[in-house]
């Protein structure tokens, strides 16, 4: 038997979630909807599938490959998008087996497919449909000699009720979410986290009765206690964060201090800023999608920025003290410079010390009379040890080009590429610094947009108390593995 998976939805009904990916690749509990489908097929004993794809076809093929991860063989056929399933079968007849298990790979099934196949085996006829209770038909066993019959699997945001041509079996305990809207997608994630979708293979380990944590994620044991929480892989959740109701956090997400999430879904590569409160929403990058109203807005709008007058005054008073502290730290760091030289020679003998240009805190006027941050040249030891690599930046603190605490310094090229929208330019309210929340909290491989969001939150909420805390946190970080080991 062969599986035929329809994953060719255009996804207009899910916008803005589908403006960067297709419906089949949207994550549920840290894995794409289509991955859950393939796992269910593998559990039912199928080893070969044909996948019908349309939008983001290259991205989908890159994500799934040849199916070896699921011990399956995957073949792909390209459609025009939301095409008639019977027409798809007609066009790729030579690739299909006589007996097919047809289903959509861009909806979430909570059914044991082997149970459907067992029940369908007891029903005669060329086509047998399957469904969950009170749900549209979502499965189809297409036997040799059958022609047509796949019309119920054609995608429509509002399924058309029609009397089925062939027998229908109801799969006991099955569940279905068609993901026909952002609200439905939000509900699918929360239901899956709460165990209301039987048969899903949940990644990670259950470290507490209501807390599941994925690989390489840092979640304090004193962390989420108030709700049912799923945390994906490579995440960092501060101990003071609070979770209520049902919360799903995808992969590579940072949740900062005192953030509050309630009945919400956070998609991959997001940053939840300090003291940010999110209720009944989906977070995708910088977008907050309110599922009850459908409103989409920038997350930066969810808090009040610091007064500009207070910020400017604090910056003027802090600058000379920063330079004095930078000189003291430079003197204290002198024993590390020979070690940095040796480490750089071991890894890059021909080029141990390299120049790099960064935007600093000194201002200049360009040829059009526009004030901008002046770029300066600093050095960098060519070693993979983070602490040693950035030792020369202490010279930039002494010169006043960098502050001790501030936003992550960017190269001029990074600033041009990543600060195009109004919210992105808010990061310039904060001085560039040697350390700060982005440098201390986020992993080195975090996406540029996530790092920029962290800097924006810091710029809008910073103050003397926060800077002192980051200084103390930076001092403590000197004695952690992260300061001395790559990655």
* Predicted pLDDT at 382: 95
Task: Report the predicted TM-score, pTM, of the whole model to 2 decimal places.
Answer: 0.84
Report the distance separating Cα 85 and Cα 47, nearest Å.
Answer: 21
Report the distance separating Cα 154 and Cα 257, nearest Å.
Answer: 46
* Predicted pLDDT at 369: 63
231 pLDDT higher than 90? yes
* Predicted pLDDT at 396: 93
Phi-psi region of 157 (alpha: psi -120 to 50; beta: other; left: phi over 0): alpha
End-to-end C-alpha distance for the chain, whole angstroms: 45
* Predicted pLDDT at 68: 92
Q: How distant, in Å, are the alpha carbons of 35, 37, 203, 209 from that of 69? A: 10, 13, 14, 29
pLDDT tens-digit readout, 335-366:
999 999 999 999 999 999 999 999 998 877 76
* Predicted pLDDT at 234: 92
* Predicted pLDDT at 309: 39
* Predicted pLDDT at 312: 40
pLDDT tens-digit readout, 299-342:
776 554 444 433 444 454 567 888 899 999 999 999 999 999 99
Average pLDDT of the chain? 88
Domain residue ranges of the chain, discontinuous segments joined by + = 2-176, 203-302, 308-484
Average pLDDT, integer, range 230-248: 93
21 pLDDT higher than 90? yes
221 pLDDT higher than 80? no
For 203-302, the fitting CATH number among 2.60.120.560, 3.40.50.300, 1.10.10.10, 2.160.10.10 is: 2.160.10.10
Partners of residue 365 on adjacent β-strands: 371
Report the distance separating Cα 389 and Cα 336, nearest Å.
Answer: 11
Report the distance separating Cα 130 and Cα 110, nearest Å.
Answer: 12
pLDDT tens-digit readout, 82-93:
999 999 988 888
Q: How distant, in Å, are the alpha carbons of 233, 315, 463 from that of 47? A: 27, 63, 58
Confidence category of residue 392, pLDDT binned at 50, 70, 90: very high
pLDDT tens-digit readout, 425-444:
788 888 999 999 999 998 88
Nearest to 284 by CA among 11, 26, 23, 6: 26
pLDDT tens-digit readout, 137-150:
999 999 876 678 88
For 2-176, the fitting CATH number among 3.20.20.70, 3.40.220.10, 3.90.550.10, 1.10.8.60 is: 3.90.550.10
Report the distance separating Cα 19 and Cα 8, nearest Å.
Answer: 15
53 pLDDT higher than 90? yes
Torsion of CA 339, 342, 348, 353, to 10 degrees: 60
């Amino acid at each position: 038997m062969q599986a035929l998976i329809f994953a060719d939805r255009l996804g207009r009904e899910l916008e803005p979630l589908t403006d960067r990916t297709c419906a089949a690749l949207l994550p549920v509990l840290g894995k794409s909807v289509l991955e859950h489908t393939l796992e269910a097929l593998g559990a039912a004993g199928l080893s070969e599938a044909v996948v019908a794809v349309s939008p983001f076809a290259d991205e989908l093929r890159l994500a799934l490959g040849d199916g070896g991860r699921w011990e399956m063989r995957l073949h792909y056929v390209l459609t025009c998008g939301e095409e008639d399933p019977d027409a798809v079968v007609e066009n790729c007849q030579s690739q299909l087996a006589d007996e097919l298990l047809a289903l959509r790979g861009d909806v979430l099934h909570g059914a044991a497919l082997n149970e459907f196949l067992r029940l369908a085996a007891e029903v005669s006829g060329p086509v047998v449909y399957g469904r969950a209770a009170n749900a549209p038909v979502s499965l189809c066993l297409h036997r040799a000699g059958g022609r047509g019959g796949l019309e119920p699997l054609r995608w429509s945001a509002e399924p058309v009720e029609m009397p089925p041509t062939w027998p229908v079996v109801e799969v006991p305990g099955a569940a279905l979410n068609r993901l026909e809207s952002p609200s439905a997608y939000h509900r699918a994630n929360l239901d899956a986290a709460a165990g209301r979708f039987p048969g899903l293979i949940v990644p990670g380990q259950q470290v507490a009765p209501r807390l599941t944590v994925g690989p390489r994620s840092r979640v304090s044991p004193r962390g989420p206690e108030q709700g049912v929480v799923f945390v994906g892989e490579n995440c960092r959740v501060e101990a003071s964060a609070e979770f209520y109701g049902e919360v799903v956090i995808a992969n590579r997400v940072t949740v900062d201090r005192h953030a509050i999430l309630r009945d919400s879904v956070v998609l991959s590569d997001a940053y939840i800023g300090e003291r940010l409160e999110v209720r009944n929403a989906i977070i995708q990058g910088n977008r907050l999608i309110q599922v009850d109203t459908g409103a989409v807005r920038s997350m930066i709008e969810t808090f009040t920025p610091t007064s500009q007058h207070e910020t400017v005054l604090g910056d003027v008073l802090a600058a000379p003290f920063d330079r004095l502290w930078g000189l003291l730290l430079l003197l204290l760091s002198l024993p590390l410079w020979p070690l940095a030289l040796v480490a750089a020679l071991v890894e890059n003998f021909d080029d141990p010390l390299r120049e790099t240009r960064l935007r600093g805190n000194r201002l200049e006027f360009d040829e059009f009379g526009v004030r901008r941050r002046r770029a300066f040249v600093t050095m960098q030891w060519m070693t993979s040890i983070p602490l040693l690599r950035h030792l020369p930046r202490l010279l930039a603190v002494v010169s006043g080009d960098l502050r001790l605490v501030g936003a992550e310094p960017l190269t001029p090229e990074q600033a041009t590429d990543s600060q195009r929208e109004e919210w992105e330019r808010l990061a310039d309210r904060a001085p560039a610094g040697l350390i700060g929340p982005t440098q201390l909290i986020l992993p080195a491989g975090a996406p540029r947009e996530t790092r920029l969001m962290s800097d924006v939150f810091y710029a809008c909420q910073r103050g003397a108390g926060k800077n002192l805390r980051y200084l103390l946190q930076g001092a403590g970080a000197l004695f952690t593995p992260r300061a001395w080991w790559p990655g």
